[in-house]
Amino acid sequence: MKKILLIATGGTIASRPLENGLAPAADAATLLSYVPEVRSFCEADAVQIFNIDSTNVTPEHWKTLAQTLKENYERYDGFVVCHGTDTMAYTAAALSYMVQHSPKPIVLTGSQQPIEKEDTDARINLRDSFLYAASDFAADVTIVFQGKVIAGTRAKKIRTKSYNAFDSVDFPVLANIRDGRIIPYIKTAKEKSPEFYLELCPNVGLLTLTPGVRKELLDAYFRLLDAVIVSGYGTGGIPENDYYAFDEVLRAWATKGKTLVVTTQVQHEGSDMSVYRVGRGWKDRFDLLEGYALTYEAIVTKLMWILGQTREAAKVKALFYKTINYDLIG
């Protein structure tokens, strides 16, 4: 039997109703006690590393999680991470960069209802996650939720309350899980050993443009942050007229070692700044990176990982355009 470690971090799955609303309270052993059937196909242990609402997650929590995985990696055949749904896609993306090429599965899951509720989705999500983690073909970082197995860099929370809360953006699910049976669609190549990275640079910010936004806001982002992601319109269009005067800001910061990424607010199909002048002009005038079909979650966490390793512009660019766990497609 394979040995699987449950790593509990809090979230709705561990929550109980308190005076001011739901808050994490159940511990790792309690979560595991609600799925005794997993012991029929694997050995299961549990550890609690923190117990918080995922809204409160920071890059420091990701470091703790990656360190826990590293410390326990040789002792277990796979890992299930119980996590709140609100920032689960960010954590899955972050772990995809912090634990690369893992031949052992690192499966994130959670629920829309607490595990102690009678009509919860928690127990089936947790059982499915153990089932997938104990399978022979699972590898790398994934999210298992409502029967979907999603690559860690392609996941996005698309519904706030419904059980089918997550989807894979512009990329097929890796597998489905139905009635205790895994139906794989994409086989992830297994590497011999993982690469662990425990350093992150949190000074990364996302500015979503709205009509009329002032150039002073973009300037403040560059002043306060090491990398700025500008989320433009359509295929990656950025205003270039005198009203906005964004060019003035970019010229002022162009030689100061800051990283600029342009992406799109549109959820599907990604950016293509070559289509319109308002995109192509920016690419011609400035040394920037384009997000293409990377999700917001992947862009933010990938930059945190990259800037935790290097600040050399050529290396930053090379790492940004390196495909990791299906993050760059097309």
20-34, 53-67, 195-209: the lowest-pLDDT one: 20-34
The first and second tokens of residue 1, run together, are: 């039997």
Give the pLDDT confidence of 203-262 residue by residue, as tens digits: 999 999 999 999 999 999 999 999 999 999 999 999 988 999 999 999 999 889 999 999
Across all residues in the chain, what is the average pLDDT?
96
Helix axis angle, 88-98 to 296-307, nearest 10°: 40
pLDDT of amino acid 20: 85
**What amino acid positions are annotated as catalytic residues?**
12
Q: pTM value? A: 0.97
Do 204-320 and 2-196 have the same topology in CATH? yes
3-class DSSP state of 55: helix
Q: Domain boundaries in the chain?
A: 2-196, 204-320
Portion of the chain with pLDDT greater than 70, in percent: 100
Q: Which residue has the tokens 């979907």?
A: 148
Among the listed residues 109, 16, 111, 11, the one whose alpha carbon sits nearest the alpha carbon of residue 55? 11
Looking at domain 204-320, which of 3.90.1150.10, 3.30.70.20, 3.40.50.40, 3.90.470.10 is its CATH number? Answer: 3.40.50.40
Q: Are 14 and 49 in contact (CB under 8 A)?
A: no
Cα distance between residue 8 and residue 184, in whole Å: 26
Give the pLDDT confidence of 105-158 residue by residue, as tens digits: 999 999 999 999 999 999 999 999 999 999 998 999 999 999 999 999 999 999
| Alpha-carbon distances of 25 from 9, 82, 202, rounded to whole Å | 10, 13, 28
Give the pLDDT confidence of 266-292 residue by residue, as tens digits: 999 999 999 999 999 999 999 999 999
At the topology level, CATH places domain 2-196 in Rossmann fold (3.40.50)
